[in-house]
Amino acid sequence: MTMQHWPAAVCVLAILGLLTGCDQLPGKPTAQHRWMAPSQVVDFSQLYAHNCAACHGADGRLGAALPLHDPLYLALVSPDTLRQVIAQGVPNTAMPAFGQQAGGSLTEKQITVLVEGMRSQWGRPNAAKDVALPPYSLQDASANGSGPGEPQRGAVAYQTYCAQCHGTDGRGGPKAGSVVDPNFLALVSDQSLRTTVIIGRPDLGKPDWRANLPGQPMTPQDISDVVAWLAGPRRSTLASHGPSSDVKTANDHEVNQAQEAPKP
């Protein structure tokens, strides 16, 4: 190479060096810090934080909604059911649909990441070992021979298992708040009530179905009946758009009957 070609060669080498070293330029974000389209995010922690934490808590606990960081809950609910709830939401409640096909923003792959992430990080394979879990849904309970929920029986079961914390009329007691507040009932489904009765709220100190009354766990029928008692006034109130006192009046009638009934 002649001396007259050296400047051109040096320029070429300098340009190649800059091109190959672009990722090292000061101020340029690394690959993990570069912007990514929301539909491309497949990290469980990111997906949970952006879509679930506001209601279910930053760590899956201590949120307004049911805790997802609960091995007993993850043993009770099937992966398919969990996927369906995330994708399709729960109509007429505070749980929206997150699946793209239902108008949400999450892809099927992202929903799979959430379901698998919850179960792998927060579930425990032995959480329900040697435990006969109650049926998850009313349909499951019926398939296993349990009858439909009946509000009058539910009022009796409520007095037996729940009144010591939530008060004899359901409007709050020494240990827990109201479970008949129409504003609360308008935000939750029958299934949400049932799930809470079964698994409790371990993050808030509420016992599961086995520990409300020591040595006397709730039966599947007890669970269905209590949910029917809780949800019955909510349905009539929402249907008629009447005042919240409708819930109070309806529950007072059932409570009075339950208090007059013999204890089991």
Domains of the chain by residue range = 40-122, 139-260
**pLDDT of the residue at 3:** 53
**pLDDT of the residue at 92:** 87
Classify burial at 51, counting beta carbons within 10 Å of its beta carbon; exposed 0-12, middle 13-18, buried 19 or more.
buried
Of 106, 64, 69, 71, the closest CA to residue 85 belongs to 106
User: How do the pLDDT tens digits run along the chain, 264 residues long?
Assistant: 555 555 665 565 556 555 555 556 666 777 667 777 889 999 999 999 999 999 999 999 999 999 999 999 999 999 999 999 999 999 989 999 999 999 999 999 999 999 999 999 999 988 888 899 999 999 999 999 999 999 999 999 999 999 999 999 999 998 999 999 999 999 999 999 999 999 999 999 999 999 999 999 999 999 999 999 999 877 665 555 544 444 444 455 454 545 455 444
Q: Which fold has domain 40-122?
A: Cytochrome Bc1 Complex; Chain D, domain 2 (1.10.760)
Q: In degrees to the nearest 10, what's the CA dihedral of 171, 173, 176, 182?
A: 0
**pLDDT of the residue at 36:** 79
**pLDDT of the residue at 34:** 74
**pLDDT of the residue at 128:** 86
**pLDDT of the residue at 14:** 58
The letter for the amino acid at 240 is: S
**pLDDT of the residue at 215:** 92
**pLDDT of the residue at 203:** 94
pTM above 0.75, yes or no: yes
Q: Are 193 and 241 in contact, with CB atoms under 8 Å apart?
A: no
CATH 1.10.760.10 fits 139-260, yes or no: yes
